[in-house]
């Protein structure tokens, strides 16, 4: 026969068991919610932050821009960091660029990630991508720090002019040109780069801007390399140590625009979409 004390103990054990089960269920729900939030954040970074490409537009106004070039559309793309982008990603980017219908198209380096060795198939994919990017007038490129000899092959086969510490004067319906001056920021040289007209400097690494404007007269400069820091909190890049990592700065009267790039190093982006830069040249 069961005593009252044994009955009470059995009841207490049952109550404790039920409470433990409730705690376990509650803990499981909390852990499931945390896991779901983590997965959501990862998905946002991988499939929203890293895949949705935005077009950032700016007007470049200067009295030195010839009237004939007023309204010229210049598009900059940067830092593909292949193979962080799939063939479908490249097709979407190509469509966005071609819908803008730029007059001048500029690529500011880093075709690939540093540790990637491009295969023949990779080179073919990249050549087709760059070849099918449209520009009504010119296509220019500068080399990035991750690029190797395959960069020159791909650019040459895609009708891009590589400006390797070189100046290219662009004339359009006028005797007065504007100059595009491209730099190899892995090996800067300044011979024969003087310019007496409105000039745009093109570089990969924005932190070379002080060296460049010390030797070359440029009103505007385009750079890449920073990838916008990949992750930004309150506009501050977290995964970048460049001195010049803002979208826009004025350095000793030179306007510096830094692209967020298109690819990524760690497969995610937060509060920092990949971008295509669109500049409209305005004469006044």
Residues 6+ apart with CB under 8 A from 63: 283, 284
The answer to whether residue 48 scores a pLDDT higher than 90 is no
Kindly report which listed range (140-144, 196-200, 236-240, 262-266) carries the lowest average pLDDT score.
236-240
Residues 89, 14 share a domain: no
Residues 6+ apart with CB under 8 A from 253: 219
Q: What is the pLDDT of residues 111-167, one digit of tens each?
A: 999 989 999 999 999 999 999 999 999 999 999 999 999 999 999 999 999 999 999
Structure confidence at residue 38 (pLDDT): 56
**Alpha carbon distances (Å) from 112 to 85, 105, 122, 175, 239:** 10, 19, 10, 39, 18
Q: Average pLDDT of 207-224?
A: 96
Which residue range forms the structural domain that includes residue 25? Answer: 1-49
Q: Counting every residue, how long is the chain?
A: 284
Structure confidence at residue 45 (pLDDT): 44
Residues 154, 243 share a domain: yes
Structure confidence at residue 34 (pLDDT): 66
Residues 175, 107 share a domain: yes
Calpha distance 71→280 (Å, rounded): 6
Strands 161-162 vs 166-170: parallel, antiparallel or unpaired: unpaired
Residues 80, 31 share a domain: no
Residues 70, 45 share a domain: no
Residues 160, 57 share a domain: yes
Query: What's the predicted TM-score (pTM) here?
Result: 0.85
CATH number, position 206: 3.60.21.10
Residues 105, 28 share a domain: no
The closest alpha carbon to 135, from 106, 102, 108, belongs to 102
Burial group, residue 247, by CB count within 10 angstroms (0-12, 13-18, 19+): middle
Structure confidence at residue 42 (pLDDT): 56
The answer to whether residue 24 scores a pLDDT higher than 90 is no
Residues 163, 151 share a domain: yes
Residues 57, 8 share a domain: no
The answer to whether residue 49 scores a pLDDT higher than 60 is no
The answer to whether residue 267 scores a pLDDT higher than 50 is yes
The closest alpha carbon to 223, from 237, 242, 238, belongs to 242
Name the DSSP letter for residue 163: -
User: Which residues partner with 231 through β-bridges?
Assistant: 270
User: Which residues partner with 93 through β-bridges?
Assistant: none
């Amino acid at each position: 026969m069961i005593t009252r004390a044994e009955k009470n103990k059995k009841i207490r054990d049952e109550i404790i068991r039920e409470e433990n089960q409730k705690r376990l269920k509650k803990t499981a729900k909390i852990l499931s919610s945390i896991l779901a939030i983590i997965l959501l954040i990862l998905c946002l970074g991988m499939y929203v932050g890293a895949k949705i490409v935005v077009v950032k537009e700016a007007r470049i106004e200067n009295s030195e821009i010839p009237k004939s070039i007023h309204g010229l559309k210049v598009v900059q793309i940067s830092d593909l960091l292949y193979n962080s982008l799939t063939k479908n990603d490249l097709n979407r980017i190509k469509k966005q660029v071609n819908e803008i219908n730029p007059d001048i198209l500029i690529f500011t380096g880093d075709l690939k990630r540093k540790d990637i060795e491009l295969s023949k198939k990779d080179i073919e994919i990249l050549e087709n991508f760059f070849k099918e990017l449209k520009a009504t007038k010119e296509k220019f490129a500068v080399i990035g720090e991750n690029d190797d000899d395959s960069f020159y092959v791909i650019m040459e086969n895609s009708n891009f002019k590589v400006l390797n510490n070189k100046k290219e004067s662009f004339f359009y319906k006028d005797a007065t040109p504007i100059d595009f001056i491209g730099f190899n920021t892995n090996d800067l040289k300044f011979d024969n780069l003087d310019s007496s007209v409105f000039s745009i400097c093109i570089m990969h690494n924005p932190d070379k801007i002080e060296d460049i404007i010390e030797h070359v007269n440029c009103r505007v400069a385009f750079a890449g390399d920073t990838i916008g820091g990949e992750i930004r909190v309150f506009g501050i890049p977290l995964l970048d140590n460049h001195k010049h990592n803002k979208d826009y700065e004025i350095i000793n009267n030179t306007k510096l625009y830094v692209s967020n790039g298109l690819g990524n190093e760690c497969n995610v982006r937060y509060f920092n979409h990949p971008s295509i830069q669109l500049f409209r040249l305005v004469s006044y």
